[in-house]
Amino acid sequence: MSATVVVGAQWGDEGKGKLIDVLAASADMVVRFQGGSNAGHTLVVNGKKTVLHLIPSGILHPEKMCLIASGVVVDIFGLAEEIRKLKAAGFSISPAQLLISDNATALLPYHKALDQAREKDLSDGKIGTTGKGIGPAYEDRAARRALVMSDLYDNKNLMAKLEFVLKEKNALLTKLYDVTEIKAKDIYDQIQTVIEEIKPYRTADVSLLVAQKLKLNRRVLFEGAQGTLLDIHHGTYPYVTSSSTLAGAGSISAGVGPHHLSKIVGVFKAYCTRVGSGPFPTELTNDVGARIQKEGHEFGSTTGRARRCGWLDLVALKYAIRLNGINSLAMMKLDVLSDHEQLGICTGYKLNGEIIHEFPTSTELVSQLEPVIEYLPGWKEDLTQVKAIKDLPMKALAYIDFVTRHVGCPIDVVSVGPDRDQTLWIKPVFQD
């Protein structure tokens, strides 16, 4: 059986966590493949909210195997806290259920210190990162000086590795950013306070575990974090995250051939949001934007920052469909758009006096775009209690239909609230 990848088709915060949680009920394994504690995946089960940052969003199903693959940057302190919180909430989190790749990058306090020092230094020009150390951790990986998870279990060599890596970090922190030096011994001691909690979940070979499941014809779900327009190669660079957020990254991070990833689900909100700096063509800086922000509770689950809000951007969505190979869409938070007289949808951009229909690859050009907005009539009804697609108001169905026809990709799922049962299926995502 092939694997299904779930990716964000906008600027993150699309609702991937909810969808993974729902789909995991019919899958065997969930593999988180990139990002780190910058993500905030919110799951609501019977009204009870759980926010996950690193642990795959299938974890609330006790019998599913949840893997953290090597492309993830693992903040061990955040991870230990997540495990503790889940246990306190009554989930057992057995070592058979959660497995962390020995080869994943360890994100350590000096990564956070550097991320925050750089953002402070950039002041007005800052990226608006989450401050979780993501960029510096991926830099270390690419520069071949990162500590990987297996290094943290190896007490014999750990201190020497920390001393080596901190030599350069401290030069940057103290000389360039005027931040206090970080001592290798302090980091070593901090690691010892949590490592025994994490050790039971270690695994050597995520690739082998995934391959075994696929060979047995079991369903494997790949969980992306952030969104397409935050991708390091194809997003609005440099206002992006430091990993590839695209479906193809799942194959590389988990170590399975790309032909296994045949179902690519793109998750998007019925409107758009962006948190942090960078261009956002359909941003609404007026009362309508403020209303969407309030009704959609558009405040970051990781940083608490207010998210910028705007109309749905179909040019950007088509770009995401192309980059990922999306062949199934999930529209989230349609309920948030109730009770608007009219709803704007961006179908093109004006650039230098011309109308264009492709998302520019130059961020400079993206910042000059003026959206071409078409208006559809809104609906008055509350959608949160709707149980089937056919029961949606005609105007909401027309909104869904407009998007489907414009982007040329089927919408299989529509979400009308945060809970599992507020999920309406047009077509099952798993069809085997």
Nearest to 12 by CA among 315, 332, 291: 332
Nearer to ligand IMP, 276 or 296 (CB): 276
21, 41, 53, 260: the catalytic one is 41
Distances (CA, A) of 156 to 75, 109, 150, 159: 21, 21, 12, 7
- Sole binder of ligand IMP in the list 42, 241, 324, 347 (CB under 6 A): 241
- Sole binder of ligand IMP in the list 4, 10, 38, 103 (CB under 6 A): 38
DSSP summary character for residue 171? I
Nearer to ligand IMP, 38 or 70 (CB): 38
Task: Give 30's strand partners.
Answer: 66, 221
- Active-site residue flag, 41: yes
Cα dihedral: 59, 60, 62, 65 (round 10): -20
Distances (CA, A) of 257 to 39, 183, 207, 210, 323: 26, 41, 10, 11, 18
- Sole binder of ligand IMP in the list 103, 242, 328, 347 (CB under 6 A): 242
Cα dihedral: 252, 254, 255, 256 (round 10): -100
Q: Does 12 bind ligand IMP (CB under 6 A)?
A: yes
Beta-carbon contacts of residue 382 (< 8 Å; ≥ 6 apart): 335, 338
Site string for ligand IMP, 108-147 (x = CB under 6 A): -------------------xxxx-x-xx------------
What number of other Cβ atoms are within 10 A of residue 77's Cβ? 18
Nearer to ligand IMP, 125 or 353 (CB): 125
Which tokens belong to 414?
């529509």
Count of residues touching ligand IMP (by CB under 6 A) = 20
DSSP per-residue codes, 349-367: EEETTEEE-S--S-HHHHT
Nearer to ligand IMP, 132 or 213 (CB): 132
Q: For the chain, how are helix, strand and coil distributed in percent, rounded to 5? A: 35, 25, 40
Beta-carbon contacts of residue 189 (< 8 Å; ≥ 6 apart): none
Nearer to ligand IMP, 265 or 424 (CB): 265
Q: Which stretch binds ligand IMP (CB under 6 A): 104-112, 140-148, 183-191, 225-233?
A: 225-233
13, 115, 231, 335: the catalytic one is 13
Least distance CB 115 / ligand IMP (angstroms): 7
Nearest to 270 by CA among 370, 215, 325, 344: 344
Least distance CB 366 / ligand IMP (angstroms): 14
Q: Does 226 bind ligand IMP (CB under 6 A)?
A: yes
Q: Which stretch binds ligand IMP (CB under 6 A): 235-243, 325-333, 361-369, 421-429?
A: 235-243
Q: Which stretch binds ligand IMP (CB under 6 A): 79-87, 145-153, 234-242, 317-325?
A: 234-242
Nearer to ligand IMP, 102 or 139 (CB): 139
3-class state of residue 78 by DSSP: helix
Q: Could you list the active site residues? A: 13, 41
Interaction site with ligand IMP (CB under 6 A): 12-13, 38-40, 127-130, 132, 134-135, 225-226, 230, 239, 241-242, 275-276
